[in-house]
Amino acid sequence: MSSERKAVQKLVSGIPGFDFISEGGLPRSRTTLLTGSAGSGKTVFALQFLVAGIRQYRQHGVLVTFEEEPAELIANVASLGWDLEEMISANALAIVDASPVPGEVVVETGNFDLVALLARIEHAVRQVSAQRVILDSIGAIFAQFHSPHAVRRELQRIAVGLRQMGVTTLLTAERTDEYGAVSRFGVEEFIADNVVILRNQLEHEKRRRTVEILKYRGTTHQKGEYPFTIDSADGVTIVPLSAINLTQKSSEMRISSGNEQVDEMCSNGIFRDSIILVSGATGTGKTLMVTEFIKAAIADGKRALLFAFEESREQLHRNALSWGIDFADAEERGILKVVCCYPESMSLEDHLIHMKRYIAQHDPQRIAVDSLSALERVSSTRSFREFVLGVTSHIKAKETAGMFTNTTPALMGGESITETHISTITDSIILLRYVELQGEMRRGIAVLKMRGSCHDKDIREYVITSNGMEIKEKFHGINGILAGTPVFSLASERQQLDSMFKYDTRRQDRTRATDTP
């Protein structure tokens, strides 16, 4: 007689990003251990699981608190917009207060059990018809009693009891090391069917939170660590890199870069849904290209969004006005939004969430980021690449044109880490380079790459005037411009020497004619 296999059913958590990496949510009617170090976001994550269930899916919940008093918890999460008191009044949430009484001394005598606590939880579950339960934090029980084996036995009793009630449960617990033992006492992970680890590690003097599903008994999930952030608007938001799919549409429509001569180099403009990287040393005119890119949107009455990480709004307005572009007027009319923020003010995950939020609010047809290298300097290579992938994929999914700038560390030629790590992500790369010739500093522009289109292969000279960027003829007879070591070719040198020799001969002839009596 063949037995029919039943797949583990999952309960949608309602936490952005988590249902993707867990491939559907938390296993239904089972217990999941949520463990992490101090500040990793365990309580917020667990409470968001309850709040999302009540708000989004009409699934009531029970909160069992072992450490914080209910009034304290209610006040702490009010800043996230979660009104727990209202949920309690609506009979959608019940709180079981198992926190220690202030001043009370716990004396362990003989055997003990948690049958009374289980009865209180069961009563609360029935009272509100709960489907979701969280126990925060079970480590407090270990702190009060000396027998870990007895505590493990009793927590196992609670886990079995909750499973019989048909509720999906989250147990939170502390750990002392980000990459050490799963839990503090070494037994918590054996109580639960599933284990989720939250980390709060220090990278480049910044805290970076990540989540990892370590164990999901009887079901599949995404492997590895995924960054997440916590803010007052959305609570916990996980940013899974694996959620990015190469499914965006591709348009044949071209738009102007804001500079007619650049458009000519790009075969009559750039694609509407392309990402352009403008790379160059400081002072080569990257912000000018962004300004002209935004100018084209303003001229067409299209909405544009500029994220600036190196200059203030007033500086950008002043610079644009010097080139005849009125950013202030465009902002007043609502077709331009300039967002200025120091890279160090938040993590890259927070920057990504905020940028997506501004994009959703403004719904722009053009987006510019000035500059990526400013963000690169305050992050690790891995987190920076994840950030860039997140931004570019989001912009491409909206079929919006994007322009990013990058400052190269070398004044003359060379490449930066930014170019090597995101060159494959961007559709077009425009290089701006200084060219030193005969003791004079000049500038050169080249279209290095333009995906899906032919483009000008020449390196052209350009100057920056009050009208913006003016592109001249290509450099003739000069090699090594992109490498930062420009030299004249042999033929060019011979032409120059012949010209100098002829000039010198003519000058000598004139001198002799003048000296002749």
Catalytic machinery residues: 67, 310
Region for 447 from its dihedrals, namely left if φ exceeds 0, alpha if ψ lies in -120 to 50, beta otherwise: beta
| Residues shown for the chain | 517
Residue whose tokens read 């959703």: 360
Give the span between the Cα atoms of 310 and 307, in whole angstroms: 10
Give the span between the Cα atoms of 209 and 238, in whole angstroms: 9
Rounded (10°) angle between helices 286-299 and 313-322: 80
> What are residue 442's DSSP bridge partners?
435
Residue whose tokens read 């995924």: 226
> What are residue 441's DSSP bridge partners?
436
First to last CA, the chain: 128
**Greatest alpha-carbon span in the chain:** 131
Q: Give 78's DSSP letter.
A: G
Q: 160: number of CA atoms within 13 Å, CB side?
A: 8
Give the span between the Cα atoms of 330 and 158, in whole angstroms: 62
Both tokens of 340, joined, read: 């200025």
Mapped onto helix, strand or coil, the DSSP state of residue 163 is helix
Give the span between the Cα atoms of 31 and 251, in whole angstroms: 48
